Structure 1
Amino acid sequence: MEARGALRASRSARIRLGAAPSAVFPLFTPEGERRWVEGWNPESVYPADGAAELHSVFLTHNHAAQPSIWAIVGLDAEHFRVSYLRAAPDSHVAFIAVECVEDGPGRTVATVSYTFTGLSAAGNDYVAGFTPEHYGEWIGQWEVAINRYLDSLRHASKMA
């Protein structure tokens, strides 16, 4: 791993979601993301049950099968805030923060912020790819996926 000349990029975007923060916030936990992220399959290291708590640790695997190590480094569930550290050891480190605030009855604005730092030439290439435009499109896909999930819940409750 060659960390000299590390590239860093910070990005932030807001997404609008069709449910109250109390319903939306759990979707930004390791287990909650299973509901709306296709292929998301975190492997809990601690605690074993995968509960979202301060200093929880879990792994995810990318297409190259190298695990990324994640830790919850900040959690304020009462105010709908969570932050993570994600390390892909041969590539990059990312600090991730999510904050959900009410945007009227049954609506939430979630601010999703990432700070990426390359750990290698490949990691710098990864970081360089997160242009403001790419980041906006990427987080925009989150908005679509989460709202689709929330719509499916509303539809299911009407059918019940």
Structure 2
Amino acid sequence: MKLTGTLTVPLPPDEAFHLFTARGEEKWVDGWRPRFPVPAEDDTEPGTVFETGAHGEATVWVVLAREPGRSISYARVTPGSRAGTVTVALEPAGKHSEAGKHSEVTVTYDLTPLTDAAARELEEFAAGYPAFLASWGTAIEAWLSTIRPEGRDHTA
């Protein structure tokens, strides 16, 4: 099942990129605590492996490719449930004076269910995918509000 959607992040792509890395997601994803079986200085290096236990599921992730500030792709396997890839691509977004201060982030999940139960779960995930991505935007905005003074642009 392939799902693609977008969200806008109020940071330029070179700054927003970090938010979609293993360590960067810790800032805004509740319960996201990546564990690296082998120390990884650069968590975006292709071949880097990490594990997560978010939502009570153990998932193994492998960085497949990255273009800093532009995109990152992961393979992910949740044993006994689903396997596939997740790709995050960033582009400058905005109009006129705001151009370059925001990012349009396209997130693509391409997942295969490994069981009948997982197939049903993926159908539910697909139905809620737009809301799922909207929740990312809300969580990122909430995190940014804790590190930026109200009303001040991050570039000031």
Q: What residue ranges of structure 2 are gaps of 5+ in the alignment?
A: 94-98
User: Structure 2 CA distance, aligned partners of 1:74 and 1:114?
Assistant: 15
Q: Tell me which amino acid in the other structure corresponds to 2:80.
A: D
Q: Tell me which amino acid in the other structure corresponds to 1:92.
A: R
Structure 2 equivalent of residue 153 of structure 1: 147
Q: What secondary structure sits across from 1:155 in the alignment? A: coil
Which of 30, 34, 39 is 1:38 aligned to?
30
User: Structure 1 CA distance, aligned partners of 2:67 and 2:78?
Assistant: 25
- Is residue 110 of structure 1 aligned with residue 97 of structure 2? no
Structure 2 equivalent of residue 93 of structure 1: 83
Deviations 1:65-105 (A, max 9, x none): x521100111111x520001110110001310001111113
Contact 1:30 1:50 in 2 (8 A): no
Q: What secondary structure sits across from 2:37 in the alignment? A: strand
Cα RMSD of the aligned pairs, angstroms, is 1.8
Give TM-score scaled by structure 1 length: 0.83
Contact 2:40 2:48 in 1 (8 A): no
**Residues 15 and 86 of structure 1: is their aligned pair in 2 closer, same or farther, counting only changes over 3 Å?**
same
Equivalenced residues, count: 146
Which of 119, 128, 132 is 1:134 aligned to?
128
Structure 2 equivalent of residue 3 of structure 1: none
User: Structure 2 CA distance, aligned partners of 1:145 and 1:70?
Assistant: 22
The sequence identity of aligned pairs, in percent, is: 27
